[in-house]
Amino acid sequence: MSEDLDLRYEAVRSCYELAAKHVRDIISAQTSSFKIQDIHHRAKTADSFIAKSKKHDDDGHLKYKDPFNEITDLAAVRLICFLRQDVDPICDQILHTFKSDGVEDVGERVFQKGRFGYQSKHILVKLPKSTYLPACDYIGEMVCEVQVRTLLQHAWAEMEHDIQYKGDKVPDSLRKRFAALAGLLEIADGEFERIQEDSDSIRSAVEEELLSRLTMEGFREVNADDGNIKAIESSRNVRDLIASGELGAALGLFDSKIVIEPAAYTLYIGRAKVKFLLGDSAGALKDLEFANSIKQNDLAIDNLRKLIEDGDIEYVRRLSLPSSVYAGRLEIANTLIKDGKGGEAFAIFSDLEEEGYSRPFSFINKAFCCLLETDTTGAYEYVTKLQINVGTPMSVNIMLVRYFISLLENKEKDETLNEFNLILSAVPHFNMPLSPAQNFLLGLKGRNRPLYNMALRDLGKIPQLSFKK
């Protein structure tokens, strides 16, 4: 009987090999976005088929009365992924691609029996028999078993299978230790998942903060000879490059800008973030060290270093607060500025800064608050903490503060106005409604109309500033 099974299986084994390869190729193409350690296929060998067909159940009866139709892994594909969180999405993809009766969670089945053990999810993919076995009358349908498991689950299964294979009877003491190890690996899989989540959070935080501090315009420089603004890379801008994942090109733009402004410490901070996103943590830390040599005791440098070196998840969570925890108080502060209540708004921005809100945006808003209170000393103190990076919206905000200081102090107004116009020309798409200056002008109009009218004469004809009589 076994010889007959052997010959009959050898006659169709190549069909199962072809079917398994077909399934493997499709799954491989459709799961390319996941972190896959390995995916391979096989058709069961004749020896393995015969051995499995001879297995008996607990009552001593043959387990398979019709081996060709009851053994479902004659063709098989095994996909090994790194993270447990990817197992279900991968299974969903397979279910949407092939005809199947669903997913069998083998680990859950074992657990329901009161023990830990083999962990894997199995899907029986059904393929058109006519494609692979058109002339075979003793096989009802073509089935390929797909196994999806994590790398740790696979390691456990391979070791357990190897020990089982070497002995007919595995001692109970070893079985218990295997079961205990399975439980530990379950915990380890979960910890790997959490590590990956925290790693992704750190990368996302760096990328989001980097994007939030970049202008929509390309990097630009001031030509010292004629005062004209010329673009280093007019066709693309660094913000778009980072958003689209073109980190290498973004790094090149930072390199170009640093050649022109080697003393601009914020450029080294920005480049450090790009290097970190590219996986060059050592290069990122070197840039931060250089930035610190230019600007010592800068909180942005210290926080980013802590994030890269320590993986400070609490810092990451603080970076995500502006959209949630900060939002309500920011709205209140902005409303106070619009109402001309600079002192009250100043207090809120000071509290937000202490809690981790962006220092540059805190400083510029506090400078505008000081101007509402005609406190030019305070406004100057905060605006001088900010460096003008030509071509950024922040550079326009800084120059507006400096212009109003000159207006209130009645000195160097013309020089400051000329510099302001030059800076503004480098930001042709400056969006006033998105600028904190918009709230300030609304507050100034109600609280200090004479000062507002003086500014209106100088700046009212500039369309970007949206001055209203």
The answer to whether the CB of 128 falls within 8 A of the CB of 119 is no
User: What is the chain's Cα-based Rg?
Assistant: 33
Question: Could you give the CA distance from residue 39 to residue 21 in angstroms, rounded to a whole number?
Answer: 11
Name the percent of the chain in helix, strand, coil, to the closest 5: 65, 10, 25
Structural domain includes residue 286: yes
Structural domain includes residue 89: yes
Range of the domain at 213: 187-319
Scanning the structure block, which residue is given the tokens 């020896």?
47
Q: Are residues 152 and 197 in the same domain?
A: no
Q: Are residues 372 and 447 in the same domain?
A: yes
Residue 225 pLDDT: 44
Structural domain includes residue 139: yes
Instruction: Supply the DSSP symbol for 43.
Output: E
Q: Are residues 304 and 331 in the same domain?
A: no
The encoded tokens of residue 421 equal 């116009």
Q: Are residues 234 and 343 in the same domain?
A: no
412 half-sphere exposure, CB direction, 13 A CA radius: 9
Domain boundary among 319, 344, 376: 319
CA 138 to chain centre: 52
Structural domain includes residue 174: no
Structural domain includes residue 389: yes
Q: Are residues 408 and 445 in the same domain?
A: yes
Structural domain includes residue 175: no
Burial 247-263 (b: 16+ CB within 10 A, else e): bebbbbbbeebbeebee
Question: Could you give the CA distance from residue 302 to residue 308 in angstroms, rounded to a whole number?
Answer: 10
Q: Are residues 351 and 440 in the same domain?
A: yes
Q: Are residues 325 and 453 in the same domain?
A: yes
Domain boundary among 319, 352, 377: 319
What's the CATH number where 199 sits?
1.25.40.10
- Which residue, 386, 391, 390, 392, is CA-closest to 368? 386
The answer to whether the CB of 48 falls within 8 A of the CB of 67 is no
What's the CATH number where 15 sits?
3.30.460.10
Angle between helices 359-372 and 436-447 (to 10 degrees): 10
Scanning the structure block, which residue is given the tokens 């800008």?
257
Q: Are residues 249 and 306 in the same domain?
A: yes
Residue 467 pLDDT: 67
Q: Are residues 328 and 459 in the same domain?
A: yes
Tens place of pLDDT per residue across the chain (469 aa): 456 888 889 999 999 999 999 999 999 998 888 888 889 999 999 999 998 888 887 777 888 888 899 899 999 999 998 888 888 899 999 999 999 988 887 655 544 444 445 667 899 999 998 888 988 888 989 999 999 988 888 877 777 666 654 445 556 666 677 666 666 676 767 676 666 666 666 667 666 666 555 543 344 443 444 444 444 443 357 777 777 788 888 898 889 888 888 888 888 888 988 888 888 888 988 998 888 888 777 777 877 787 777 765 555 555 544 445 677 888 899 999 999 999 999 999 999 888 777 778 889 999 999 999 999 999 999 999 887 777 778 888 899 999 999 999 998 888 998 998 888 888 777 778 778 888 999 999 999 999 999 988 888 777 777 666 5
- Which residue, 72, 66, 42, is CA-closest to 138? 66
Report how far apart, in Å, the C-alpha atoms of 212 and of each of 42, 244, 435 are: 50, 15, 13
Q: Are residues 141 and 18 in the same domain?
A: yes
The answer to whether the CB of 254 falls within 8 A of the CB of 283 is no
Q: Are residues 61 and 134 in the same domain?
A: yes
For the chain, the domain total comes to 3
Q: Are residues 234 and 109 in the same domain?
A: no
Scanning the structure block, which residue is given the tokens 């100057």?
380
Structural domain includes residue 173: no
Structural domain includes residue 172: no
DSSP of 186-243: HHHHHHHHHHHHHHHHHHHHHHHHHHHTS-SSPPEEE-TTT--EEESSSS--HHHHHH
Domain boundary among 166, 201, 220: 166
